[in-house]
Structure 1
Amino acid sequence: MNLDHVPLAWTPVCPLDEIVPNTGVCALVNGEQVAVFHVSNGDADSIVYAIENYDPGSQAAVLSRGLIGSLGERLVVASPIYKHHFDLRTGECLETPAYSVSAFAARVENGQVWVAM
Structure 2
Amino acid sequence: MRPTATLDWTAICPLDRLDPDRGVAALVDGVQVALFRTGGELYAVDNLDPVGGAYVMSRGIVGSRKGMPTLASPLHKQVYDLRTGQCLDLPGVALRRHEARCRDGLVEVRLRQEQ
TM-score, length basis structure 1 = 0.84
Equivalent residue runs for 1:104-115 within 5 Å: 104-115=98-109
Partner of 1:20: 19
User: SS of 2:36's equivalent?
Assistant: strand
Which letter maps to 1:72? Answer: K
TM-score, length basis structure 2 = 0.85
Structure 1 runs not aligned, ≥5 long: 1-7, 41-45
CA deviation profile, 1:91-117 (whole Å, cap 9, x unmatched): 111111332111111101111100111
The CA RMSD measured in Å over matched residues stands at: 1.3
* Moved beyond 3 Å, runs of 4+: none
Partner of 1:78: 72
Aligned-pair identity (%):
45
Across the two proteins, how many residue pairs are aligned to each other? 105
Structure label with greater radius of gyration: 1
Structure 2 runs not aligned, ≥5 long: 1-6
Partner of 1:3: none
| Structure with the larger RCO, 1 or 2 (CA within 8 Å, 6+ apart) | 1
